[in-house]
A = this chain, B = another copy of it.
Amino acid sequence: MALIVQKYGGTSVGTTERIRNCARRILETQRAGNQVVAVVSAMSGVTDNLIRLASEVSPEQDPSEREMDVLLATGEQTTIALTAMAINALGGKAVSLTGAQAGISTDGVHTRARIVNITPDAVRKMLDEGNIVMLAGFQGETASGEITTLGRGGSDLTAIAMAAAIKADLCQIFTDVDGVYTCDPRVVKTAKKIPEICYEEMLEMASSGSKVMQNRSVEFANKFGVRFEVRNSMNHNPGTLVKEETPGMESVVVRGVSLERNQAKVTIDDVADRPGISAAIFDAIAHANVMIDMIVQNVSFDGITDISFTLSAADLPKAETALKKILPELGEKAQLRTTSGIAKVSVVGIGMRSHSGVAATMFRALADAKINIQMISTSEIKTAVIVQESEIENAARVVHTAFGLDA
């Protein structure tokens, strides 16, 4: 008998019919001889509706974050009750638990709380009594009994953290795709599902735009060694198993190609090359709450250099405003240039750590397709380039082919 944690996202429980489908699936898993804890999100649309109500009652200012958590936590509470009812109606035995009831303790940072500790006694007791446990994702409780929510990707995190706490044999993340692909199948028709991927690759794929899951949950799984499988709730196809790196994995040089659209580039030309200049720039950006991606600084010439970085195009106005204020501090001739309409293509694979030539293969493929590279950034297991947005799909296809991923 295995102990399995499953997680069903908002689309998978988006209607009462879909809730019944999930209930059937959860019950099948138990009847195959397993103990099951199933984490569910709010039904799709419910959270957005609650946020709309909040903005209607508080149009003058952002609603209090404490109250936002009380409000949003109702979404998952609704789904656990409905799914438990559906399982019971199918002849199973299920009980629901809110985050607080399941012993999920968090810090007090409302709307983006961090899990501090899990006391899974109630979960264990209910499992031992033969129940399927329906657990509300995305939520917890502070030591003083306040309701908190975990922020984006919170339900995945609930599943993975509970799997760690109860030492589950397997954690299954059900979503609306079959798993992690070598590239977005809508762009590259020959993209294949990846049967196994290690945490680091999953992190690089995610941060490069293949948003099956938030990095936060993958990092947590990596830290606590929780193996998990990404699967489709609408079919029974095998998914992608995400796990620690194993020796066999290294024979694959490149695991996948990832795309990120709607990027922008900021270049500050003729910056004085002296200590503290980069700090001044990126302090200003950080204070504007802008997340940046690649950073490139050229070699200095005559005490003058230039710095470029990329960011989401949506954040470009905020970044420009912040930088214009400090431009005079950066050097007499310092100038600001911005470019939007660009995108990022990355190749990811832990195998490239011990293989030279990955960058060369990628650049050659792009050159043969007459695609100009505007910026390059590399990490141990990723090589990323910036190209024109209009060329992104062609770039993905030629790189996918160049690394033999079509086969």
Contact = CB atoms under 8 A, between A and B. Distances in A.
Contacts of A53: 16, 78, 82
Nearest to A136: B70
Given A71-B78, A80-B70, A23 B57 contact: yes
A53 B59 CA distance: 30
A159 B398 CA distance: 68
Interface stretch (A88-96, A289-297, A308-316, A357-365): A88-96
A86 B60 CA distance: 10
Interface in A17-37: 17, 19-20, 23
A63 interface: yes
A193 interface: no
Contacts of A82: 53-54, 57, 67, 71
Contacts of A334: none
Interface string A77-106: 110111111101100000110100100000
A73 interface: yes
A188 interface: no
A145 interface: yes
A20 B63 CA distance: 13
A50 to B, nearest CB: 7
A88 B64 contact: yes
A77 B70 contact: yes
A207 to B, nearest CB: 33
B70 A96 contact: yes
B73 A85 contact: no
Contacts of A83: 57
Given A57-B85, A88-B58, A101-B145, A73 B77 contact: yes
Contacts of A88: 58, 61, 63-64, 67
A112 interface: no
A405 interface: no
Nearest to A75: B74
A124 interface: no
A59 B89 contact: yes
B56 A84 contact: no
A84 B60 contact: no
Interface string A194-221: 0000000000000000000000000000
Nearest to A52: B16
A66 interface: yes
Which residue, of A16, A54, A67, A73, has the highest number of chain B Cβ atoms within 10 A? A67
A53 to B, nearest CB: 6
Nearest to A66: B95
Interchain residue pairs A-B with the least CB separation, the first 6 = A71-B81, A16-B56, A58-B89, A74-B74, A70-B81, A57-B86
